[in-house]
Every structure is written in structure tokens, then in C-alpha cells.
Amino acid sequence: MTDWGLDGWAVRPGDGQIIDMGGPHRPEVLVQGSDVDHAMGVFVFTHGVIPQNPPHAHLDFMKIAYILEGEYDFRVGEGEFSVGPGAVVVVPKGSFHTFTTATGGRMLFACSPSGNEELFVEMGRLGPAATAEQLSKLNDRFNTVSLPSDEGSPWRRMFAEESRQNIGESDYEHGQRSDP
């Protein structure tokens, strides 16, 4: 049961909006952007084994993954991380990323501004039999893109100019952040 107070609320385990994706992967939305002026979204994602996961980037929000259970292999930009419970993985807005898991597991995701949880709510409305065309339109609406090409394409932030503006031109040039 979700407990509402005058200035906030608590969502108890299992009381979020559970999204049926027709398989072992199940997001549970805990905070939807529409409830918090779209400042952020929060969900727990329960995963079965994921041997492959196409790299993609979200151009409108960043996200943080906190590993609750299981072992995961992440790739974010040029970084590769093998992580387990208690680890945090940061995925900046516009960064290509993917993860796999041989164990299955659970992660807590927070995105800012909201968007990732809303994408899953919409996927749930489409149902497990959603067509490739429907999913493509959904990705377009939520400004989520696939890696343009696997052949010869390095992992990197998608829009270098936008990245320079977001982190500051001088930091970018002085090697504190760089695109390979």
C-alpha cells in the first residue's frame, strides 16, 4: 500500500506500478514523473538472464542504476564495468550504454528528468505482443536511439557539441572529459 502524507508519500515493496512485459523482465514503477513535476522517475527492474542487449542512448534524461541483486556487465561509453550488489552505475544523458547478466537480478533505476519509467509504462500499455513498428515509434517519442553502426563505430557520447556545452568547454579540452 502506498502511504500518502501532506508533503510526500511512501511506496512499500510490491506496491508500485508493475509493468507486464510478457517474460522474466519486470519493471515496477515507484515514482512516475507525472507525480513529481517530471523532475525524476524511479523504478525497480527485475531481470532474468540477459545474454544480449542492444546498445542505446537516451537523449532526454540521464539515469543511475543501483544493483540490488545479481551480477551485471555494463558498458557505458568507453567504460566497461562488472558489478554486483551495492554498485552504482551512472549513465549520462546521451551516452550509449548496455548491460547483460548471466545471473538475472534486480536494479533500482533513477532517471532525471523523468522518462525511462514512462517509456516502460507505455510499453506496458502496448503489451507483450507490441510490434517492432510500435516499439520504434515509442523510442522516437522518448528520444531513445540505437547505436548507428556496429562496424567501426567507437563507443562514445552521441552529440559531442552538446556534451561540451553540458560539462563546459574548458573541462572537455583539458582532458577531464573526452570523446575517444
Predicted TM-score (pTM) of this structure: 0.78
pLDDT at 128: 84
pLDDT at 60: 93
Query: Quick one: cell of 31?
Result: 515514482
Q: What are phi and psi of 55, to 5 degrees?
A: -65, 145
Q: Is the pLDDT of residue 165 over 80?
A: no
Domains along the chain with CATH numbers: 2-128+140-154 (2.60.120.10)
* CA 163/CA 119 separation, integer angstroms: 24
Question: DSSP states of the chain as a string?
Answer: -EEE-SS-EEE-TT-SEE---SSS-EEEEEE-GGGTTTS-EEEEEEE--BS----EEESS-EEEEEEEEE-EEEEETTEEEEE-TT-EEEE-TTB-EEEEBSS-EEEEEEEESS-HHHHHHHHHHH-TT--HHHHHHHHHHTTEEE-S-SSS----BS-HHHHHHHH-HHHHHTTSS---
Least confident of 86-90, 106-110, 116-120, 153-157: 153-157
Q: What is the pLDDT of residues 80-94, one digit of tens each?
A: 999 999 999 999 999
Query: Quick one: cell of 114?
Result: 523523468
pLDDT at 179: 37
Higher-confidence residue of 106 and 177: namely: 106
Mean pLDDT for the chain overall: 82
